[in-house]
Amino acid sequence: MGSGIAQVAASAGHPTILFDSNPAMLEKSKTELNKTLSRLLEKSKITKEESDTIIQNIRYANSMSEMGSCKLIVEAILEDLSVKQQVVKELEEIVGDECILASNTSSLSITSIAGAARIPSRIIGLHFFNPAPLMPLVEIIPGLATNPDLLPEVKRLMLDWKKSPVFVKDTPGFIVNRVARPYYGESIRIYEERWNDLPEGPTGFATIDWAMKEFGGFRMGPFELMDMIGNDINFTVTETVWKQFFHDPKFKPSLTQKRLVEAKRFGKKSGQGYYNYIQEDKFPEPFRNEHLGKKIKDRVLAMLINEAVDAVYLNVASCEDIDLAMTKGVNYPKGLLKWCDEWGASNVLAVLEDLHREYSEERYRPSVLLRRMAKEKSLFYQ
């Protein structure tokens, strides 16, 4: 991720320093970047001059002290609060007081990271999505102590980097990793209970994937997407969001996915996850039942929309930024709030109330805002 962000900055014409405490990883980053640029050059995506300029704009540093003159530093290290706080402390011993310190964290609180800083007002979140050079979305997250004047400055910079920036409150999961949780969690739940006679095993996974693509228009189904992301990563994000929301049942992790992680069935990178990638010729065919497929799509989509509506209700981000984040960050076919307008808040509410009556679980509680909108027949976009 750090290499990708460096490539983005260098491509925008900024002199960039790439540092890693592990020299082997730094050398690997240099090799991988050269390979990436060679591929782009072969496909005529960039010119030889552009490739040379990007390479010249990146300097590989063996010591953190070489970043003393930087005006912006983006850390993209492991998701460990104590480690990030320690890095902030070390950086503040090196850089000037005007240097902006940004974290690429996907799940940790910016306010918590800034708690270790001498100047917490310069700490901000810049959450890029992988791969950073290709994915346009960047979530901009101010902490409680972040200087408000940094927000327009950082947004202008992200636009210069040809990114699609959105502002989001410092809450667990921010926009994308919060709102997208039902796509995975509710799909696993449907499989676990063999809902409406869903087939067992890989055919069941394939049927849910087929339903979300065929009737929802999603580019990837939830199980193939979890396998691509990595079940270890996906489970960790879910567990982190769940814990940070004080074990809210909406975000409860799945034992099914936990067992896959324990068995090291991470997905494509390990050769096996929900699907077996070693035996590609045995990739399962879905059970193509239109009635079942539409019911699966409605259940998962209602949960997604409910979470997006609740994010508006709790002032996590604006309607426009939430929809932009979901289309640019995870390639949803349309914004969930726009989808709510098209489907109708009353119809979304009806699906959730049916689930709530059936299960009597807080997991299916409708957002207060969704109830109000259904009652008033109001829309997010007029």
Residues identified as active-site: 106, 127, 139, 177
Closest CA relative to residue 254, chosen from 297, 205, 218: 205
198: left (phi over 0), alpha (psi -120 to 50) or beta: beta
3-state DSSP assignment of residue 42:
helix
3-state DSSP assignment of residue 348:
helix
DSSP run (H or E) holding 17? strand 16-19
- Contact partners, residue 97, CB within 8 Å, separation at least 6: 119, 122
3-state DSSP assignment of residue 79:
coil
- Contact partners, residue 167, CB within 8 Å, separation at least 6: 140, 141, 142, 151, 155, 317, 318, 321
Q: Alpha-carbon distance 244 to 261, whole Å?
A: 21
Q: Alpha-carbon distance 39 to 154, whole Å?
A: 30
Q: Which residues of 305-327 are buried (b: 16+ CB within 10 A; e: fewer)?
A: bbbbbbbbeeebbebebbbbbbb
> Residue 96's CB: how many other CB atoms inside 10 A?
10
Cis peptide before 131 (omega within 30 of 0): yes
**Separation of first and last alpha carbons in the chain:** 39
CA angle 22, 267, 285 (to 5 degrees): 160
CA angle 79, 83, 84 (to 5 degrees): 70
Q: Alpha-carbon distance 368 to 340, whole Å?
A: 15
